[in-house]
Amino acid sequence: MAVLESAESTIYFETGLESLNLLIEKGNYSRVFVFADGNTSELCLPVFREMLDDFSDFDLIETDPGEENKNIDFCIGIWKTLLDFGADRKCLMINLGGGVITDMGGFVASTYKRGVDFVNIPTTLLSQVDASVGGKTGIDVDSVKNMVGTFTLPKAVYIESKFLKTLPERELLSGFAEMIKHGLIADKDYYLSLKNSDFRAPGPDAVLRSVEIKNKVVTTDPLEQNLRKILNFGHTIGHAVESYALNSPSPLTHGEAIAIGMICEAFLSHKYAELSKEELEDIKNYISGLYPKYILQPESFETLLKLMQSDKKNEHGQIMFSLLERTGHCAYNCKVTEKDIEESLIYYNSIYVA
Amino acid sequence: MAVLESAESTIYFETGLESLNLLIEKGNYSRVFVFADGNTSELCLPVFREMLDDFSDFDLIETDPGEENKNIDFCIGIWKTLLDFGADRKCLMINLGGGVITDMGGFVASTYKRGVDFVNIPTTLLSQVDASVGGKTGIDVDSVKNMVGTFTLPKAVYIESKFLKTLPERELLSGFAEMIKHGLIADKDYYLSLKNSDFRAPGPDAVLRSVEIKNKVVTTDPLEQNLRKILNFGHTIGHAVESYALNSPSPLTHGEAIAIGMICEAFLSHKYAELSKEELEDIKNYISGLYPKYILQPESFETLLKLMQSDKKNEHGQIMFSLLERTGHCAYNCKVTEKDIEESLIYYNSIYVA
Ligand SMILES: NC(=O)c1ccc[n+]([C@@H]2O[C@H](COP(=O)([O-])OP(=O)(O)OC[C@H]3O[C@@H](n4cnc5c(N)ncnc54)[C@H](O)[C@@H]3O)[C@@H](O)[C@H]2O)c1
Ligand SMILES: NC(=O)c1ccc[n+]([C@@H]2O[C@H](COP(=O)([O-])OP(=O)(O)OC[C@H]3O[C@@H](n4cnc5c(N)ncnc54)[C@H](O)[C@@H]3O)[C@@H](O)[C@H]2O)c1
Ligand SMILES: [Zn+2]
Ligand SMILES: [Zn+2]
């Protein structure tokens, strides 16, 4: 359907893996590995096999699903597996799965023998619209998210809506939060079109639009010095909420946490940037209508603030926000007082006070 | 004394760390770390401190000396130490030590939070003339050398002969082998000048010439696709000999092993490339006169060949050599039969048969 090209990497949309067949054929690779987790090897690998022409000569490296396995210990296991397979520097790694697989597979490939080629086939909505772009690889160390990683572009990314058919509804909703974010920070029309769509069946056009937006931002600022920071809208508070909920009886998906973060940060956008009262209300109503009810316990506020302070995105200890100037426009490097951060959490909770 | 500039990285020679003072001053770093091993923190850190202007506000991260500690476990320890220190993405890491410290420190820095700035101050002759150039970082996993790493250039490299004053003679001789190699593969006059010099007191001019040669090769071919392979002269056999000796009662330094490798590969250069009989004799006599006696046991030949086959530099299983066409000129991608490799080992041993 479409192709997004940059100097070093290409994103293919709905091309039925035709170009992957070509890449493998032309690449003269000594060996091809497919990296997947238990779920994607069961649900996505058959779809993948069907889309490959004659090529079937790969070895499968499988890991357990879930963020808790995106860590250095599993990494070491994969490096050693590659070595045991006799993988040299001319091998190719195909990462087939959600963000956990593409992040960890990308890190393994970008460091094994100082880097071998890899391609990503994101199979969750979140990884298609977000992890697919920007060349961030990463793993967790000691449960610290993405403490270690590289900026390395895959040779190519293949986005195929086919893979989403088996994805649970909650995972679809999680990825949808990033799409809403893309509309809010960069494209009001896109935001409005999402409001009229069903997150259970995200159209390829919408996925493509999200990828275009992220790609444009990331190409302008590959190393996250400036503009790329707008992608953090909803994430300063959202990440803290996500981390906090992680060890609670009801953990949130990334998207659910970001949805909460976007409502709080829309509040701050009204207070610190130019976002109007009406736009704030609209965002709050739309997002809170879509995502499940969740209350931020006042006892958690202090911890949440601490988590924000230790966020990797901050420099020299100051918490920085990306805030909306209006729907479709975002500013970055906004300083906000702790008191107002707290107020934004209270604003969020007020949704559920009758 | 001199400065070697490239787009992304600069090598400073004998400038008394003046430019490092400037870099720290201008860099607006949130924090500065010095990474050293037990020996360099004792012997080089005082010299380093003396060369710094007013700057003294750094934290020391110290590790145990030796190749056996250049591994993923130590790496994880350093990542965690950085985190415990609250290091963010704007910190600077100064690697003060030999190749173990610059390789491992470079890897840690290039992956911590997806990459923080680092500079290298190589304090061994080997790391000054070799590891200082080319952007290779790396660590060992399961005793497999440099199994994991990245290509990442340090912000700057500072080469100061002052640091060599405390270096043991055997380490000087080890680094000297790489200098001989640089002469042999790229500059006959330089090779001749080395023959007239004393390895115990390598002049800054010679160090600079070596760095220039390696830098030129590496700049032409940063990712080791072609020309860079000439730097492997002496290393295909040398690495195997080094690995083999590692677990023996008399392990060799890297340079001692490469010295043996260069004699063997000079023999192959005479057989497969254009190196003349006289040149071969000259190389054999010079190198064997300089380096300690060492016999390659015939029982080890089979293992040595296996080690060569599993060398990371080989693709698709074929052992590749870089061979001299004449003194000062080197070809790469030369295929050699196993029988002739064995013959070259016998040729080397013949030095010690009266
Ligand atoms: N690199 C980046 O720029 C970037 C951006 C955003 C998120 N991320 C990372 O991505 C990760 C989250 O991504 P995610 O939500 O895709 O996580 P994930 O990979 O864990 O996938 C979520 C779940 O869905 C399953 N799954 C995947 N594809 C499926 C399919 N087609 N059908 C059925 N089940 C399927 C997985 O096995 C897993 O259980 C985090 O680790 C995050 O840090 C990275
Ligand atoms: N990155 C590259 O391109 C590259 C090139 C060549 C070698 N290497 C790597 O470098 C390592 C070998 O380098 P090395 O020989 O410098 O090893 P090293 O760092 O282990 O140093 C050798 C010994 O000298 C000590 N030492 C260092 N500086 C000293 C000083 N000024 N005075 C007294 N003692 C000192 C060290 O503590 C150590 O005991 C290997 O791991 C190799 O893989 C990397
Ligand atoms: Zn996100
Ligand atoms: Zn060497």
Summarize pLDDT for B105-151 with one digit per residue, the tens.
Answer: 999 999 999 999 999 999 999 999 999 999 999 999 988 889 999 99
Which tokens is B241 given? 């000999």
Contact map slice: A 126-185 vs B, CB within 8 A: 136-138, 141-142, 144, 146-151
Nearest alpha-carbon partner for B125 in B182, B195, B59:
B182
Residues B24 and B146 in one domain: yes
SS3 state at A253: coil
Residues B247 and B122 in one domain: no
Distances (CA, A) of B112 to A71, A102, A149, B63, B344: 14, 18, 7, 17, 44
Most informative mutation of B39, B173, B174, B233 for ligand 2 (most atoms within 8 A of CB): B39
pLDDT at B223: 78
pLDDT for B19-44, tens place per residue? 999 999 899 999 999 999 999 999 99
Domain boundary among B166, B196, B213: B166
Beta bridge partners of A157: A11, A120
Which tokens is A53 given? 């022409």
Confidence of residue B7 (pLDDT cuts 50, 70, 90): low
pLDDT at B145: 85
Portion of chain B with pLDDT greater than 70, in percent: 97
CB of B177 within 8 A of CB of B262?
A: yes
Predicted structure pTM score: 0.94
Specify if B187 maps to a domain: no
pLDDT at A3: 80
pLDDT for A300-334, tens place per residue? 999 999 999 877 666 666 789 999 999 999 999 99
How do the residues of chain B divide into helix, strand and coil, expressed in percent and rounded to 5?
A: 50, 20, 30
Residues B99 and B7 in one domain: yes
Confidence of residue B104 (pLDDT cuts 50, 70, 90): very high
In this prediction, residues A228-250 reach a mean pLDDT of 93
Chain B contact for A314, CB < 8 A?
yes
- Looking at residue A60, what DSSP letter applies? E
- CATH code, domain with A249: 1.20.1090.10
Domain boundary among A138, A166, A194: A166
Average model confidence (pLDDT) across chain A: 94
In this prediction, residues A265-285 reach a mean pLDDT of 97
CB of B218 within 8 A of CB of B228?
A: yes
CB of A127 within 8 A of CB of A152?
A: no
Residues B153 and B229 in one domain: no
CA angle B343, B348, B353 (to 5 degrees): 110
Do the Cβ atoms of B316 and A150 come within 8 Å?
no
Exposed e or buried b for every residue in B126-145, given b needs 16+ CB within 10 A?
A: bbbbbbbbbbbbbbbbeebb
- CATH code, domain with B136: 3.40.50.1970
Residues A15 and A137 in one domain: yes
Distances (CA, A) of B311 to A129, B8, B166, B320: 40, 30, 33, 10
pLDDT for A129-187, tens place per residue? 999 999 999 999 988 889 999 999 999 999 999 999 999 999 999 999 999 999 999 99
Residue A258 CA, ligand 3 centroid: distance in Å: 7
pLDDT for B155-176, tens place per residue? 999 999 999 999 999 999 999 9
Residues B162 and B226 in one domain: no
Residues B146 and B19 in one domain: yes
CB of A345 within 8 A of CB of A296?
A: yes
Residues A116 and A250 in one domain: no
How do the residues of chain A divide into helix, strand and coil, expressed in percent and rounded to 5?
A: 55, 20, 30
Domain boundary among B144, B166, B188: B166
Catalytic residue among B209, B235, B284, B329: B235
Q: Is the pLDDT of residue A86 over 70?
A: yes
| Ligand 2 pocket, Cβ-based, cut-off 6 angstroms | B 37, 39-40, 43-44, 65-67, 70, 97-101, 103, 123-124, 126-127, 130-131, 134, 136, 146, 163, 166-167, 171, 174, 254
CB of A57 within 8 A of CB of A25?
A: no
Total tally of structural domains belonging to chain A? 2
Cα B213 to Cα B208: distance, rounded to the nearest angstrom: 9
- 3-state SS track over A265-281: HHHHHHHHCCCCHHHHH
Q: Which domain holds residue A229?
A: 222-350
